[in-house]
Structure 1
């Protein structure tokens, strides 16, 4: 904003004043024949001084200051050797700006912002796999433990995602897929997001420890550390982040399993292996069409740094997924029908991965990604329906051994009672 002090020497410096006013308008006037500059009296104020009155130098001296936005410039000629540019009518107008407080103070949007901060879609997938792991475990269903297990795991996942977004704000701002996240847009402060993450982590770990068991709490806390302190920084310097991220995604069904049965069994490791291998074709196909974003943000993803390895890894793990499915009845976790029902799904999954390996275009990667979204829920349902044992062997043996003991005790006590009577 320019401010000009009008005094008795204004007539002497009028050329300088006219040039300053003209340059500040940033207009590009048309070139015309040279003319004499207009007198300073042609500057017609439109504020409180009136538009048709003229003031002498003494009167102008009594006026203190006139800001530039109080002056309407009708026509001002700029002096240039041999050429003077005729400026059109320039009227200084202030732009209308609607300022909005940052972060948003509307409490009605706070829940929605928390859901976005926790990456609700990813957290929902984590919760579903945890529920499936609990349901597949060969142990009685306990509603309270089931609730504590799923809610606790979901809160730990929400905390991990909040910390992840806190660290990646400058990089998310460079990606079209993540530029509208709440921290990038300033809808929540970084301190607010960290407080949300701490509260979610403490409540989630507490629910797992006091409501489920120590194994589930240790897995939940360990997975939180692995995602925030290993996977998140590793994305900046190594493609091994994809393997670490797959381990993070394979742990939730194990939390559900040990939360239900209270023990690590072959079935929970097999379920984790299935989830681990499924994530490679799923994520590699997704990241293939996001290569410009990942490259711009500086993430070391296979699709960016080693595209050939990205395609090979997706194909290899579709084959591994079919092998793990065939091992389920061998390990006595499911019946033979699970392997037979998964055979056509796995064969088509391998076919799509092979097409992606050959063509490596957006169409083949998109088909592979979309089918991965279908195969995972089908795999979980078939695993649950075809599980071999609904009650664990330990509980079955305990019931069988408890029954003869009760019979023998009653047989020994009955004659004694008759003798006394």
Structure 2
């Protein structure tokens, strides 16, 4: 709310002007002050409104006794109380102002990346046919929950963000929006997103979304100021959305659905280590306990990044072996993994800002290429295995003499059929063949 002196000075200006005084200045400014208690003016306001704020700060004579300023009404002996009015342009300005604040509070670009991983998980878990309506609802619910988590993150870190160059202009530290307003926004979109997932997807997806929100806002966020382990907790947060999408499409969590979450988990470590090295001075000013702050030389930071890049190497082969993607994906995955690993190794050998930035850009390229390749080369149910046809299973299992005659080759062939089944659990299938032939075959073989 305005200070009294400012209000009085402005009212006196109105009264001292001619009878053609423009009351729209007062009407808009008062309404705007209701929504922005700190009276911080956005640069997107029209010049006339900016002139109002600049003129209201100037000293002016005190108002006459004939004037009254009261809650949006201006009265004197010649004018009756006049109600608050808005023009269409005023409403557009307000929508733009708060839309911009909500966009920044939600970290919209980061939230859209989360939505992309969730949508990819949904497609991978859908089998032959993708429910477009379900995909849209899952993406919308994920977007709202991610926006809520990011908004709560900024609420808790308002004092820290005010100390950092790259975050001090955010809506909360800059005073463009109040904390109660931000909390109300975060709570509303979080509850709406969770409810949407529960109604249009399933309770498993809604539970994953709610748990991820709690993990991000109430575990990861405070850990950033306590211990460097926050990076690994944040990696778990980033790995849950694709699992959420898979659960929304299939209604369950299977081992095949863990390939993309594993990629997200291991990818985030080199990605964030590069960012933490580049912004280590800013993180130190903000009071965040990042891994790079305790590593002056950067050697340990680079080693952790390089090690996690190597963890990405077998994912393409696992995706093919488990029947999620074709053999071409193995080649593509290997190439892009070697590229990011080479960038990480270069940073390990020469720990400079240039090499860290190169590794950061390589990580930005890796994720969309990996997800696109996984979608393009994914195997449908009828491509994954003949085990998808129950009649074919009976036929294979009804001729044991073929296995006896040909020995291990046919047993291995049969095990590949079982492993590729979308309903199966691949690691269990290996337990029924050499060197563990005494273990029982998985239950899904009998179905």
TM-score normalised per structure 2: 0.64
Q: Is contact 2:101–2:171 with CA below 8 Å preserved after alignment?
A: yes
Report the counterpart of residue 218 of structure 2 in structure 1: 229
Change in CA separation of 1:313 and 1:384 when aligned onto 2, cut-off 3 Å:
same
Q: Unaligned 5+ residue runs, structure 2?
A: 1-53, 59-92, 394-447
Residue 381 in structure 1 maps to residue 372 in structure 2: yes
CA drift at 1:397: 5.0
Structure 2: distance between partners of 1:175 and 1:226: 24
| Alpha carbons 2:344, 2:359 under 8 Å: kept | yes
Aligned length: 302
Distance 1:198 1:400 in 2: 52
Partner of 1:108: 96
The equivalent residue for 2:435 is none
- 8 A contact 2:274–2:359 mirrored in 1: yes
Q: Whose radius of gyration is greater, 1 or 2? A: 1
Aligned residue number for residue 61 of structure 1? none
Query: What pairs with 1:133-172 in structure 2 (closer than 5 Å)?
Result: 133-139=121-127, 140-172=129-161
* 1:256 is aligned to 2:256: no
CA offsets 1:330-357 (integer angstroms, 9 cap, x no match): 2222122111122221112111100111
8 Å CA contact retained: 1:274, 1:325 = no
Whether 2:194 is the aligned partner of 1:200: answer no
Residue 316 (1) aligns with residue 291 (2): no
Partner-residue secondary structure (3-state), 1:267: helix
What residue in structure 2 maps to residue 47 of structure 1? none
Question: Which TM-score applies when normalising by structure 1?
Answer: 0.68
Are 1:127 and 2:143 matched, yes or no? no
Residue of structure 1 in register with 2:234 after alignment: 245
Which ranges of structure 1 fall in alignment gaps of 5 or more residues? 1-95, 402-421
Aligned partners of 1:277 and 1:317 also within 8 Å = yes
Aligned-pair CA distance for 1:309: 2.6
Give me the whole-angstrom Cα distance separating, in 1, the residues matched to 2:211 and 2:389: 33
Provide the C-alpha distance between the structure 2 equivalents of 1:221 and 1:206, rounded to a whole number of angstroms: 10
**2:167 equivalent in structure 1:** 178
What residue is the counterpart of 1:345 in the other structure?
A: 336
Instruction: Give, in angstroms, the shift of residue 112 of structure 1.
Output: 1.4
Q: In structure 2, the residue corresponding to 1:377 is in which secondary structure?
A: helix
Report if the CA contact (8 A) 1:251-1:272 is conserved: yes
Report the counterpart of residue 294 of structure 1 in structure 2. Answer: 283
Secondary structure at the aligned position of 1:106 is classed as helix
Match of 1:213 in 2: 202
Distance 1:356 1:165, change over 3 A: same
Deviations along 1:159-185, whole A, 9 cap, x unmatched? 000100001011001111111100011
2:314 match: secondary structure: helix
Distance in 2 between the 1:145 and 1:251 partners?
18
Go from structure 1 to structure 2 and tell me whether the alpha carbon gap of 1:213 and 1:352 turns closer, same or farther (over 3 Å shift).
same
Cα–Cα, structure 1 residues 329 and 395, in superposed 2: closer, same or farther, change >3 Å?
A: closer
For 1:98 and 1:320, locate their aligned partners in 2 and report how far apart those are by CA, in whole Å: 62
CA–CA distance in 2 between the matches of 1:213 and 1:183?
34
Q: How does 1:11-26 map to 2 (within 5 A)?
A: none
Q: Whole-Å Cα distance in 1 between the matches of residues 315 and 99 of structure 2?
A: 40
